[in-house]
Structure 1
């Protein structure tokens, strides 16, 4: 059996990736420090509690499991926080990625699937983002991810590291079978925040900025279902294992939704109103980010099974209704 080291494997996307890998015949090894992840989300392979900032933890995991590849999801990822404390984002995101890349190379594990972000493109309103779009990040989160992409390219040139990079923006939804879902501490993503407001787990959703240059004044984002996203990552892994070389892919629906449109969709799915209060803009937020996925569809053969925003909201809502969900 082929092992794959999944950093952040106890987190939202990482846990879904572990399930997808197991279904594809791999053994996912979830590597996580549990700072934001949940140990009970690790259900599909072994768990290693470790810190990416500690090289010894990584060396031990590589020596024990001898993975054929790495899927790197773990990172600090809050735009507002990255603007308030850029040093932490540069130190943690780059430091952990460097440790991971060097440990992988030392162990002879030369296949690397990297979870990047469309935030590397910056604020490019009216542009359908694709892999040829210039990368001009406007916040420390996007800038640190872009720097890791550069780092991977450097190690590819000098050490033969094979890498696939995925850039995407808003991931939403939950496993339709209910085995894993989204649960952050604290919650920061729009759809679960709205559902929390609907369920009374928070007083209201704060709408950050209503004066953007968009049709209704609120930020516009692309959304991709988490199970479709991780399916693309498995395709990217197989691309590398088949020896097809380095590549990068954007993942998105190609359609943008404003915050007000997502609020309306959530109300329609749940048949309940979303309590909303308006707040100021957050530093580092782009007005509109919409990503096409033509290359992933044509080259990888990726086919999203849940492209509709309503499905993403419905699955997220079902996960939040499960007994034992942390209120």
Structure 2
């Protein structure tokens, strides 16, 4: 409970700060610190001791399964509701990827404890690969632009959290000096306050009422249908999963849309306004839905054992 209260305090402070200064500059600065300092430090710290055996397959597969669920659901809806090509691409891109680090890490940590971050990081890295492979493919297909495989790989490999992951894996056989461990842990602890301040600064509401329909469709898929699909798999297919692995996997895929997916949608002109609102509205709503999933998960797990 204390973790959730801290998150809401940070969001409130972020919203207040957005009224006192230039919000876009503040958001850009906070996100820069998250992506280039706090998140790489957390990954370097946690990946050093993560156990990649046993339950690791399901967390790795979860983002890929979620992406497929998003595509299938959106095309099912298209039978009943006309959706343009660019809006379809936007919905697939935003619903198919999850905010597993900016929002996911703080929420998972607050609800399930620090130990859950080990699984959360595995899902986050797999989710990032989904964005830079299937996500870029969808963005180009629905915008009519060709796919540059080389550029896609370069962007993925140079992204600071991915660099941190590679370095962290290479350093797994070697113990960190105490000073390095302390530094990484301290910088990593900045992730939650910096992220939540940024989210508070960016909170807005849509002015175009006609967009509410597609926002509702997107968030229903993202926050309800996708985690429900993963929950059913955990309950009836992957029945040997530990409760913690199942819980983290379901919660991570049920996070709000990914911030970087918004940037990609804007770059490809895939209904950028819808992309922005799916994230800015989805983030605060996901605080409620993720907590609800967390409340319901023990009952789901009990019914399968």
Asked whether the two chains share a fold, i.e. TM above 0.5, the reply is no
The structure carrying a bigger strand percent of its residues is 1
Compare relative contact order (CA 8 Å, sep 6+) and give the higher one, 1 or 2.
Answer: 2
Per the shorter chain, which TM-score range? under 0.3
